[in-house]
Amino acid sequence: MKILGIDTSTMAANVAVLEDDKLICEYTINTKKTHSQKLMPMIENMLKLSDLDIKEIDAIAICVGPGSFTGLRIGMATAKAMAHVNNIPLIGVNSLEILGANMDLCNRNICSILDAQRNQVYMNKYILKDYKITELEEISIKAIDELLEEISSSNEDWVLVGEAVYKYKEKIEEISNITIPSPANNITKASTLCFVARDKMLANDQVYNCYNINPMYIRKSQAEEQYEEKQKRLKDGK
C-alpha cells in the first residue's frame, strides 16, 4: 500500500510517500514562499524522484489541523483535487496526533501543543500503548499557564512536544517533570503522518472521500472574529 502524505498546517510544507513499512521519500521546505507556490512542485518532484506515478498511490494522508488557517485550506484543497481526479481515498490525521506519534518510543506521558495565540495553545494528551499512541482526552484550547500548572501538579513525568514549546520555553524549563524533545520531533512530519494514516486505513478509521473531509479549525480565524465583532457593533448602533 502506497500512501502520499501532505501537511501544510504550519509554516513548513511537508510531503512524503510511504510504501507499507518503508519510507520512500520525504520532502520539507520551510521558506517564505507560500504553500500555494511550493506544494504542487514539491509533490511532482518527489513523485518523479521516487519513480512513482500518482495513479500508483492508494491513499492520500492529509493533516486536517489545527494549525495555520490558510495553510490548512491550501493543503486540503490540493488533497481533495488529487483524490477526486484519481479516485483515491483520503485519510485525515490531526496535527497534535502527528506530534504525539513523533514520540513513539517515549516512556513518559505526552502532551502535544501548538500556538493558538493569546497565550493559549491547541493541546491534547497521549500515552504510548502497544507502540501506538492513545488519546487521554479530546483536543482543546487551553491557556498555557493553566496547562503547565496542571502538568506540574500531576506528579507524573511528561514530554511537551510541538512548535509552541519554543515560544514558552522559559516557563516550561522551570518545571522539573517536563522534558522538551529534540527540534526534529517538534515539527509535524509527513512521514509520521503517513505511518499514522496507514494504521487508520487498515482499521477503516478516519477514511474519507473528497466530499466529506474538512479542516479542523477548533476556533474561528482572527479575521472571522473581527468581522463578527464589527457586525455586532453595527447591529447595536455603535
pLDDT of 122 strictly over 70: yes
Report pLDDT digits (tens) over 138-184. Answer: 999 999 999 999 999 998 999 999 999 999 999 999 999 999 999 98
Q: Is-contact 31 11, C-beta < 8 A?
A: no
Across the chain, mean pLDDT equals 91
Show the cell assigned to 146: 493553566
Q: Which amino acid is at 134?
A: T
Question: Which of the two residues, 6 and 11, has the higher pLDDT score?
Answer: 6
Report pLDDT for 227: 47
How much is the pLDDT for 129? 81
Packing angle between helix 69-86 and helix 35-49, nearest 10 degrees? Answer: 40
Beta bridge partners of residue 25, listed in sequence order:
17
Report the percent of the chain where pLDDT is more than 70: 92
Q: How far apart are CA 61 and CA 195, in angstroms?
A: 9
Burial status of residue 67 (CB atoms within 10 A of its CB: 0-12, 13-18, 19 or more): buried
**pTM above 0.95?**
no
Domains and CATH numbers, the chain: 2-94+188-222 (3.30.420.40), 97-185 (3.30.420.40)
Higher pLDDT, 130 or 125: 125
Instruction: Look at residue 76 in the predicted model and tell me its pLDDT.
Output: 97
